[in-house]
Amino acid sequence: MNIIKSIIWEKWKDPYGLEEEDIPNNIPQEQDHETYNQNDEDEDEDEYDEDNHGIKNNKHPMSMMVTPMGLIPYTENTAACRIFNFWTGHTNFNITQKTSNIIEAIDGIETLDIYTRYRFRIGVGKNFKDSTVMREINTRVCKS
């Protein structure tokens, strides 16, 4: 049975479930002294917190990610969707070593991760147009 090879492209989604616009783009700043509210006094008392060994809870929660180097804050500088231009390719054919070599040889491919025999992820370099790179992959891989 001869099938016509095809690749369907999908923008890669961050595994932390955050969209690019949801990622904090800076660390929250302390409130100005001018915005001090008398009602906040009870919350801001300088009491020793025995449960946390004196460490007060931060009022600004921060997402963290677990890496081989330990916990890293998840910010605009560490979010993969901000650092890389990732795309997922879904195929109707096996991704072989030959297919992998063809994809890696295309100008603009920064990273290539093979997930399954039908799914892979590419990272397109910032100095390349993603649609041009994906079109080139379709042309070269589907012809071979």
Torsion of CA 110, 9, 120, 130, to 10 degrees: 0
Instruction: Compute the average pLDDT of residues 121-132.
Output: 94
Q: Which tens digit of pLDDT belongs to each residue from 56-71?
A: 555 566 677 677 778 7
User: Domain tally for the chain?
Assistant: 1
- In whole angstroms, give the CA distance from residue 86 to residue 54: 42
More confident site: 70 or 125: 125
Range of the domain at 133: 84-143
The pTM assigned to this predicted structure is: 0.61
Phi-psi region of 69 (alpha: psi -120 to 50; beta: other; left: phi over 0): alpha
Residue 21 burial by Cβ neighbours in a 10 Å radius (0-12, 13-18, 19+): exposed
Q: Which tens digit of pLDDT belongs to each residue from 56-113?
A: 555 566 677 677 778 767 666 656 666 678 999 999 999 999 999 999 999 999 999 9
Q: Is residue 51 part of a domain?
A: no
So what's the pLDDT on residue 70? 81
CATH number of the domain where residue 119 is located: 3.30.70
